[in-house]
Amino acid sequence: MLEILRSVFWVGSATVFNLLVWVVAGKVMAVMLGPAGVGLYGLLRQLAQNLNVASTFNGSTTLVQGLASRPENQRPAYSRNVAIIFLGLGLTVGIMLTLGASWLGPHLLGKQMPPGLLRWMVLPLVGMSLSAFFLGMLNGYRHLKALVVCQALGPLAALALIYPAALWIRGGGYWAYGLILGVPYVLIGLAAALVSLRQGWFTRSTETEAKSSFGRDSRHFFGLSTALLIGGAATTGLQLFLNTLVVRKLGLAESGQFWVAWSLSMTYVTVLLSSFGAYYLPSLSGARDPETKRTLILSFTRLVLLIMPVLVMLVIILKAQVVRLLFSQDLLPSLKVFRWMLLGDFLKVLSWVWAFPMLAYAEGKTFVILETTTSLVWGFLAWVLFNHFPYIEILGQLFCGVYLFYSIVTLVYLGRRHAIQLPSGDWWGLARGILVITWASALFWQPGRLDPWRITLALVPCIANLWLTAGVKGRRGIWDLLHLRTP
C-alpha cells in the first residue's frame, strides 16, 4: 500500500501542477472567447481525441501492457515494431483527414465555420500520436520521473500560446485552435522521445530482431488494441456525439456550458486515474499468481474508497468558485450538469479500477462488449430524451445512471472471472462513501456563498468516513508514509 501511495503522490503531484497551469490558459480562453468560443474549442478537442484513438488504434495501453508483460530482452524489438505500427496508422488517418475535411467540416461544425479548419487538426493528430507512444514507453519502463517532467511541458507551452492564439481567433483566425491543441502534445512527445533514445530502448534491438518478431508483436498489438479501439471510439465518439447534439439543438454557447461541466468532471478525476494508472497497469500486467492479483485489485479499491469521497466532497463545496476561477461567471450555468456528474464520479473511478483487469490480461472481447454496449445505450437514451427535453441537465442525470450500471457490471465481472469478492468492510465503505457524497450534494445543490455551518455539516461525516475506511492498519501506514513516526 505504501509503494502505491508513493507512486500516486508523485504522479498526482505532477498532474496537479499541469492542471494549475491549464487553469490560467482556460481562464484566458473563457474570458476572451466567451461560451461560444469555449464550445468550439471543446468540439475540436473532442474531435482531436477521436482522431488520436483512430491514429494509434488506442494502443498506448497495449504498449504499456506489452512492455510490462515481456522479458527484458524482448522489449526493444516490441517497441520498434509498435513504433512502425503507430507511424503507418498516423499517416493513413492524417491523409484521410486532409482529403475529407471539406466534406466533414459542414457536418460537424456547421456551415458557419470554414471547412479548412479541420485540416489544422492534423497538428494535434501528430502531437497526440507522438506523445501517446513515447509516454507509453516511459510508463512501460517505469521511468516515472521522466514521465512527470515530460508531461509538464505541454501545459507550459499552452500557457505561452493561449493569449496570442485567442487574439488570432477573435480576429477570425480559427486555425489557431490547431496550435493550441497540437503544439503542447508535440513538445511532450519530442521530450519523451529524447529520453527513450538516450536510454537506448530502441538501439538495444537490431533491425533483424525486430523484423523476426514483427508478426507476433503485431498480432498481440492488434489483438488487444482492436478492443481498445472499439472501446475508445465508443467513449470518445459518445462525447463528440453528445456535444454535437447540444450544438445542433441549443447552439455553441450551450455546448460551451456542457463542455465545461464535462471537462471539470474529467479533470479532477484524471488527477486520480493518471496517478493510479502509472502504477496499476504495469503492476497488474506483471502479476502472475491469483493472490497477487487479488491483493492489488482490492488495495486500489480501498484506496478509491478512502480518497474519492473526500475529493468529491471538496469539489461539491467549491464547484461555483472553481467555475469562476477556471473559466468565468458566464459559465456558471454549467453547474446544472456538473452537480449531477459529481454524484456519478465516485462510481466511475471504482468501475475503472474493477474494469482494468480486462486490459491488463488482454480480455479484449469482454472489454469491447462492455464499452460498446454502455456507450450505445447512453447515446441512444441521450438522443431520445434530449429530443423531448432539450436541457443539458438531462445529460448529467444520464451520466449518473450509466456509471451505476457500469460499476455493477464490472463488479460482477470481477466475481465471475477472477473470483474476487469485496470484503464486508469494503461494502460498508462503499455505502458510506455514497452517503457522504449525496449528503454534501444536497447541502450545496444550489451555488451560493460558502456558509460555515454547511461546510461543517459536510466535513464532519466525511472525516468520520475517512477514519473508519482507513482502519487501524491504513491509518498507521499513512502516518508512516508522511514520516510522522518511525515505522
Q: So where are the chain's domains?
A: 2-481
Whole-number pLDDT of residue 61:
79
Res 482: pLDDT: 45
Alpha helix positions (H), 361-451: 364-388, 393-418, 424-443
- pLDDT band of residue 253 (cuts 50, 70, 90) is confident
Q: Which band of pLDDT confidence, cut at 50, 70 and 90, is reported for residue 278?
A: low
The answer to whether 266 and 22 have CB atoms below 8 angstroms apart is no
Give pLDDT, residue 247: 79
pLDDT at 141 over 80: yes
pLDDT at 192: 92
Cell of 227: 478492443
- Look at residue 21 and tell me whether its pLDDT is greater than 70: no
Using the structure block, give the residue that is written with the C-alpha cell 456563498: 449
Residue 279: exposure state from Cβ atoms within 10 A (0-12, 13-18, ≥19)? buried
| pLDDT of 186 over the 90 cut | yes
What angle separates helix 290-326 from helix 252-286, to the nearest 10 degrees?
160
What average pLDDT does range 182-186 have in this prediction? 91
Query: Across all residues in the chain, what is the average pLDDT?
Result: 81
Closest CA to 81 of 62, 55, 94, 58: 62
Q: Would you place residue 487 in the very low, low, confident or very high pLDDT band (cuts 50, 70, 90)?
A: very low
Burial class (CB in 10 A: 0-12, 13-18, 19+), 454: middle
* pLDDT above 80: residue 400: yes
Mean pLDDT of 326-332: 82
pLDDT at 333: 87
**CB 28, CB 162: distance < 8 Å:** yes
Mean pLDDT of 151-176: 86
pLDDT category of residue 485 using cuts at 50, 70 and 90? very low
pLDDT for 12? 55
Mean pLDDT of 75-85: 88
* Secondary structure letter of residue 440 according to DSSP: H
- The answer to which of 101-110, 180-189, 373-382, 425-434 has the lowest mean pLDDT is 101-110
N- to C-terminal Cα separation, the chain: 14
Local structure of 485: helix, strand or coil: coil
- Report, as an integer, the average pLDDT of 454-483: 72
Torsion 126-128-131-134 (CA) sign: negative
481 — pLDDT class (breaks 50, 70, 90)? very low
What mean pLDDT is predicted for residues 342-362? 83
pLDDT at res. 88: 92
As a whole number of angstroms, the distance between CA 389 and CA 408 comes to 28
Range scoring the smallest mean pLDDT among 49-63, 184-198, 400-414: 49-63
Kindly tell me if the per-residue pLDDT of 216 is higher than 70: yes
Please write the tens of the pLDDT for every residue from 295-320.
Answer: 888 888 888 898 889 989 999 998 88
Looking at residue 50, what is its pLDDT? 83
Q: What angle do CA 273, 277, 283 make, to 5 degrees?
A: 150
For 110, the 3-state DSSP assignment is coil
| Greatest mean pLDDT among 128-132, 223-227, 330-334 | 128-132
Q: Which are the contacts of 253, defined by CB distance < 8 A and separation ≥ 6?
A: 34, 35, 36, 39
Residue 295: per-residue pLDDT? 84
Rounded mean pLDDT, 240-252: 80
Q: pTM of the prediction?
A: 0.66
Q: Residue 215 pLDDT more than 60?
A: yes
Q: What is the pLDDT, as a whole number, of residue 126?
A: 93
Could you give the percent of the chain with pLDDT greater than 90?
Answer: 15
pLDDT band at 251 (very low <50, low <70, confident <90, very high): confident
Q: Enter the DSSP assignment of 422.
A: -
Compute the distance between CA of residue 136 and CA of residue 405 in angstroms, rounded to an integer.
30
State the Cα–Cα distance between residues 168 and 181, nearest whole angstrom.
14
